[in-house]
Chains A and B, each alone.
Chain A
């Protein structure tokens, strides 16, 4: 009789725990009023945000080159320790792309990692960085994306083994890793450093590669931008871009690298960073200078 009571109690606690998990981790959309009063999107700024985020580096068709970079047909494979993701079509096609989405649905994906059907999105889409973006920038970006060519391409499904194919588990991941807090505290940040912080930690999502990850794929934020193994499983290492790793680089060296692709000793950009640098070169000089100022201001590792 006593055993039965204990069993019932444990069972009830387990159910409660499970209910608690789903209550805490259910996909949460953004608030309606976040998207009101933004007005017509500023397309020119949307294009700038598009370059800051490097959207085409992943969302253009594989091997599209410079000519095809504005057709966001998707399909590129993104290998990871958890399986291979396939980047979705985000062109304005009404069925294959995001042509039928509302601004709020787009914002749910960008800020909360929630898809149009209310499902959790995988953090291979770096919403854990984009969560820091302003609704105004997201409105402008969404407006710009609508001006790009539509593609009817349907990307292959993700190739993920169990348990990583269970989207409900992503609620737990978000509980641990999704927030819009600053990644580092910078005392007395001026407007330039603050702008750099927004670009690097938000749309630029630099930390997604340049910060090492733990076993669950969350960023080790105590090693912010300290570099580490290639998260895509490549042979190279991702460099440390804190003042400890960029020892000997001045602010103008960093800005010049982002503009030209040349390091201070005239080695050149390579690997995945080559595509990033091409996007950085499209930005106004003040954005590159802001990024450089921020990288000099963060804690050294």
Chain B
């Protein structure tokens, strides 16, 4: 009986460790970062489209999330993380790492420009979204392979 309990505990421990490892993998980390950016983008688009009222706090928080992601996003692609964990990263990232980093930096620059002046109304959010949003497709065009 006791042996069974120990075995069960061991299995749980191993599974738990496995889950922790998965969350630490760069593939999982960068996927979470993109999800956070998507959510922030959605909050801004809701305001730009007039579906949600303008809220300076939401605008600031959303832009801050994007800014933080842009600072470390390109670091999440170390050698050895090319495959696995359902990654949609294109092999071209590792062939053109400098260009990939430059695209991430441009994204951060556009976000920080918007953050510095903070769009003050619905139209301002729409304009900022237009500029920032171009970075999404500019990078995904070359560096993301949709499964």
Contacts and interface: CB of A to CB of B under 8 A. Distances in A.
Nearest to A269: B137
B147 A266 contact: no
A237 B34 CA distance: 20
B69 to A, nearest CB: 13
A42 B133 CA distance: 33
B38 A269 contact: no
Interface stretch (A75-83, A107-115, A257-265): A257-265
A264 to B, nearest CB: 9
Contacts of B144: 270-271
B141 A262 contact: no
B145 A274 contact: no
Contacts of A274: 137-138, 140-141
Main secondary structure of the interface of A (DSSP, over half): loop
Interface in A241-283: 256, 260-262, 265-272, 274-275, 277-278
B145 A262 contact: no
B94 to A, nearest CB: 14
Contacts of B42: 265-266
A237 B144 CA distance: 12
A270 B143 CA distance: 8
Interface residues of A, number: 21
Contact of B147 (A237, A268, A278): A237
A156 interface: no
Given A265-B42, A266-B39, A267-B38, A236 B146 contact: yes
B136 interface: yes
Main secondary structure of the interface of B (DSSP, over half): helix
Contacts of B45: 260, 262, 266
A269 B133 CA distance: 10
Nearest to B49: A256
B41 A266 contact: yes
Contact of B140 (A266, A270, A278): A270
A268 B136 contact: yes
A2 interface: no
B147 A261 contact: no
Contacts of B136: 261-262, 268-269
Given A261-B133, A262-B45, A262-B133, A269 B140 contact: yes
A295 to B, nearest CB: 18
B78 to A, nearest CB: 21
A235 interface: yes
Interface string B29-69: 00000100011011001000100000000000000000000
A236 B140 contact: no
B137 A277 contact: yes
A266 B38 contact: yes
Contacts of A234: 145
Contacts of A236: 145-147
A239 interface: yes
B146 A265 contact: no
Interface string B122-147: 00000000000100111011001111
A256 B42 CA distance: 13
Interface of B: 34, 38-39, 41-42, 45, 49, 90, 133, 136-138, 140-141, 144-147
Interface of A: 234-237, 239, 256, 260-262, 265-272, 274-275, 277-278
Give the 3 A-B residue pairs with the shortest CB-CB distance, closest first. Answer: A270-B140, A268-B136, A274-B141
Given A256-B49, A271-B146, 15 more contacts: A239-B146, A260-B133, A261-B133, A261-B137, A262-B133, A265-B38, A266-B41, A266-B42, A267-B38, A268-B133, A268-B137, A269-B137, A270-B140, A274-B140, A278-B137
30 contacts: A236-B145, A236-B146, A236-B147, A237-B146, A239-B146, A260-B45, A261-B136, A261-B137, A262-B41, A262-B45, A262-B133, A262-B136, A265-B42, A266-B38, A266-B39, A266-B41, A266-B42, A268-B133, A268-B136, A268-B137, A268-B140, A269-B141, A270-B137, A270-B144, A271-B140, A271-B145, A272-B141, A274-B137, A274-B140, A277-B137
